[in-house]
Amino acid sequence: MSLVQLALYPSEPPVIRYSAECSDEILTHLSQGSPVAIGVSGGKDSSALAVRTMSFLDDIAHAGPRVLIHSDLGSIEWQSSLSVCQDLADRLGVELVTVRRKRGDLVQRWRQRWADNVRRYASLACVQLILPWSTPQMRFCTSELKVQVICQELVQRFPSSVIISASGIRRQESTARAKAPVSRIQSHLVRTRFGTSGYDWHPILGWTDAEVFEFLQRHNVPLHEAYTRYGSSRLSCAFCILASRADLLASSRCEYNQNIYRQIVELELESTFSFQAGRWLADVAPHLLSRHLREQILNVKQRALQREAAEAEIPKSLLYTAGWPTRIPSWNEAALLANVRRRVAKCAGIQISFVEPEEIVLRYQELMDLQSPRTAKQLGVVSL
């Protein structure tokens, strides 16, 4: 183990429990030989999870199948993450299953989302222009590219089973995770066609950062280069919507990550939406950008403020609820919306329809009619 790695571990190890938490329902299914899939990313938590869970399963004489499973998010992954996961699987003597979203990786998902949202805005299928990125409140990067893809693989791999999906979330990480249960039903594992059901299981939920690092050191498990070489405090995507500025900067120091950094910045500038609320990725490592991109940053930030100011004028009652309008605007309100839409389109550099008050009133009326369940069913419309 390198000296750099050792420097990350606490100099005075705390009292360590290393307990693997397990609910009665999980223990019951494990005793019956349920398959266990341990999610790994290459990060410290999932590495500790894998080693500790395998040991726990051995202790209780679990006889069912076990795999490590990794969801590859594509170009936004650290280059070494997959090899770290494979080394861990080899060490533990289990198969590493790698899954990927069939319709493209995370950056492609963000680009497609932006293109779709531009089309929606152009057709007045949404009142405000919608950002391309995942957000802390809307983490489709996790739900679509990790949970759903992993669960799809597991139900096909283990038909007619109660599947246990273990992940390394910890209470210390966030307020939301502090409230997480040790186990819960995972609806994506419930598939009638395959005869499956399943649970999420969080064996190291109560561990602290110090315990994770100390556990890995005691078991001589190497850390990912994101920690040891680049100084990141966590391992996820190379550029994560939840990352601190320091971790974004750490990631940008890795030459492999710099091309995807530029691609994300390009989408920031194209969309006029910052990568994180209140933080532009373009500001993290501007020295990595071309002169052309650097020259655009200030102008785009100004246009973003203009877009936000324009949309702030929209009456809340004219915003859509669950994708649908709740009332038809008056002519004066439609004139206001027309003015806002022209300004927003100019700020974002996009072409739109419905820029006259009369068109907007008729469009709202059309959508109100479509919202009728009978009409929507006749037209094959589920939701906008």
Give 268-322 pLDDT, tens digit per residue: 999 999 999 999 999 999 999 999 999 999 999 999 999 999 999 999 999 999 8
110 and 256 housed in the same domain: no
Same domain flag for 217 and 268: no
Q: Higher model confidence: residue 383 or residue 362?
A: 362
Instruction: Report how many domains make up the chain.
Output: 3
Query: What range defines the domain where residue 329 resides?
Result: 313-368
In a domain, 375, yes or no: no
- 380 inside domain: no
Q: Which of 310, 330, 348 is the last residue of a domain?
A: 310
Q: What is the pLDDT of residue 380?
A: 42
- Give the DSSP H or E segment for 95: strand 95-99
What's residue 3's pLDDT?
Answer: 43
Residue 98, helix vs strand vs coil: strand
Q: What pLDDT is stored for residue 185 in this prediction?
A: 98
User: What pLDDT, on a 0 to 100 scale, did the predictor assign at position 351?
Assistant: 97
3-state secondary structure of 68: strand
Note whether residue 274 is domain-resident.
yes
Q: What proportion of the chain, given as a percentage, has pLDDT over 90? A: 88
Total number of residues shown for the chain? 384
Is 122 found in the same domain as 243?
no
Least reliable range by pLDDT among 148-152, 172-176, 185-189: 172-176
Q: Is 186's pLDDT higher than 80? A: yes
Same domain, 319 and 245: no
Q: Residue 377: what pLDDT?
A: 46
> Which pLDDT score is estimated for 9?
54
Average the pLDDT over 200-220 and give the result: 96
Q: Is residue 155 included in any domain, yes or no?
A: yes
**Stronger pLDDT, 376 or 61, i.e. the higher one:** 61
Structure tokens at 290: 């071309």
**Given this model, what pLDDT does residue 177 score?**
87
Contact 263, 281 (CB under 8 A): no
179's CB contacts (< 8 A; 6+ apart) are none
Which own/partner pairs from 271-275 qualify as long-range (CB within 8 Å, at least 24 positions apart)?
271/114, 271/131, 271/132, 271/348, 272/300, 272/303, 272/304, 272/307, 272/347, 272/348, 273/131, 273/132, 273/133, 273/304, 274/304, 275/133, 275/239, 275/241
Provide the pLDDT confidence category of residue 174 given band limits of 50, 70 and 90: confident
Q: Do residues 360 and 296 both lie within one domain?
A: no
| Same domain for 252 and 204 | no
Does the residue 167 lie in any domain?
yes
Structural domain ending residue among the three candidates 193, 226, 259: 226
Q: Does residue 332 share a domain with residue 253?
A: no
Point out the domain boundary residue: 276, 293, 310.
310
Q: Which residues of 186-199 are buried (b: 16+ CB within 10 A; e: fewer)?
A: bebbebeebebbbb
Is 259 in the same domain as 219?
no
Residue 383 lies in a domain: no
Q: pLDDT tier at 378 (50, 70, 90 boundaries)?
A: very low
What is the average pLDDT score of the chain? 93
Q: 242 and 200, same structural domain?
A: no
- Beta carbons within 10 angstroms of residue 256's beta carbon: 13
Is residue 202 in a domain?
Answer: yes
Average pLDDT of the residues in 38-62: 97
Both 56 and 155 in one domain: the answer is yes
Q: How confident is the model at residue 36 (pLDDT cuts 50, 70, 90)?
A: very high
Alpha helices in 144-240 (DSSP H): 148-157, 175-178, 209-218, 225-228
- Give me the pLDDT at residue 190, please: 98
320 and 259 together in one domain: no
Residue 24 in domain: yes
| Confidence check: pLDDT of 384 > 70 | no
Is 210 in the same domain as 77?
yes
Work out the pLDDT band at 359, boundaries 50, 70, 90.
very high
State the CATH number of the domain containing residue 60: 3.40.50.620
